[in-house]
Amino acid sequence: MKNATILSIIGANCPTKTLSPVADIARAHNLHLAYLAVGAIPQFPNFGVGMLPYGSPVVPDTWQESVQQVNADLKAKLDEVEAMLAKEGLSGDVSSVYAEPAGLAELVSWRAKVCDLALICNGLRGEPQTFKNVLHGLLFNSATPVVINDSAGVKTLSAKNILVAWNTSLPASRAVKRAIPLLKQAENVTIACFDPKMSELADGENPGSDVGKWLTRHGCNVTVEQHPSGGKEIATCILARAAEVGAELVVAGAYGHSRLRENLFGGTTASLSEQTDVAVFMAH
DSSP category for residue 89 = T
- Yes or no: say if 208 and 166 are a contact pair by the CB < 8 Å rule: yes
The model's pLDDT over 197-246, given as tens digits with 9 standing for 90+, comes to: 887 766 767 889 999 999 999 999 999 999 999 999 999 999 999 999 99
- Yes or no: say if 14 and 119 are a contact pair by the CB < 8 Å rule: no
Task: State the chain's mean pLDDT as an integer.
Answer: 90
DSSP-assigned states of every residue in 203-220? T-SSTTHHHHHHHHHTT-
The model's pLDDT over 52-103, given as tens digits with 9 standing for 90+, comes to: 666 566 667 777 888 889 899 999 999 999 999 999 999 999 999 988 888 8
DSSP-assigned states of every residue in 90-126? --EEEEEEEE-HHHHHHHHHHHHTT-SEEEE-GGGGG
CA distance 186 to 246: 12
CATH number belonging to domain 159-282: 3.40.50.620
- Residues for the chain: how many in total? 284
CATH topology of 5-148 equal to that of 159-282?
A: yes
Let me know if domain 5-148 sits in CATH 2.60.40.3880.
Answer: no
* Domain regions of the chain by residue span: 5-148, 159-282
Q: Report the run of H or E that residue 176 belongs to, with start and end.
A: helix 170-185
Find all residues with CB under 8 Å of 31, minimum gap 6, and list them. 1, 3, 4, 5, 6, 22, 25, 90, 91, 157
What is the reported pTM? 0.91
